[in-house]
Homo-oligomer: A and B are copies of this chain.
């Protein structure tokens, strides 16, 4: 069911410093900061040869990562995002096995403009998992 690891999301307390760590210290290609007010985060994309790191910093009130950073002031890995080709089918299979889909259980539009849902970390070894619907024709060669 799951295909590519789309990204690893890391919540960071200082976006400028975190970007410099990946760009200057580790020598990776990084994007400009991209504010996503609808999602309550500013994101910097770190492009690796086979996947991406997304550095997330809270934006505005009620940011979904503010509580996480309050618990982890140094920052930390927030979630893993796996690609699936059919999110409704994936959700139905997951619910049938007892896995809990967060929120109302319905896909919503994620930060990349594609349907996503999140699975409860208690059901996956303390790991918050995002599933993103990426059609095969959208995948990199």
Interface residues in A67-87 (C-beta closer than 8 Å to B)? 72, 74-77, 80, 82-83
Q: Please indicate the chain B residues that have their CB under 8 angstroms from the CB of A3 in the complex.
A: 48-49
A123 within 8 Å of B (CB atoms):
yes
Specify how many copies of this chain sit in the oligomer: 2
CB distance from A54 to the nearest CB of B (A): 12
Please give me the residue from chain B that is nearest to A29 by CB atom. Answer: B2
Instruction: Name A21's contact: one of B11, B21, B123 (CB within 8 Å).
Output: B123
A1 to B21 alpha-carbon distance, docked (Å)? 12
Please give me the residue from chain B that is nearest to A17 by CB atom. Answer: B125
Q: Please indicate the chain B residues that have their CB under 8 angstroms from the CB of A2 in the complex.
A: 26-28, 48
Q: Find out whether the CB atom of B25 lies under 8 angstroms from the CB atom of A97.
A: yes
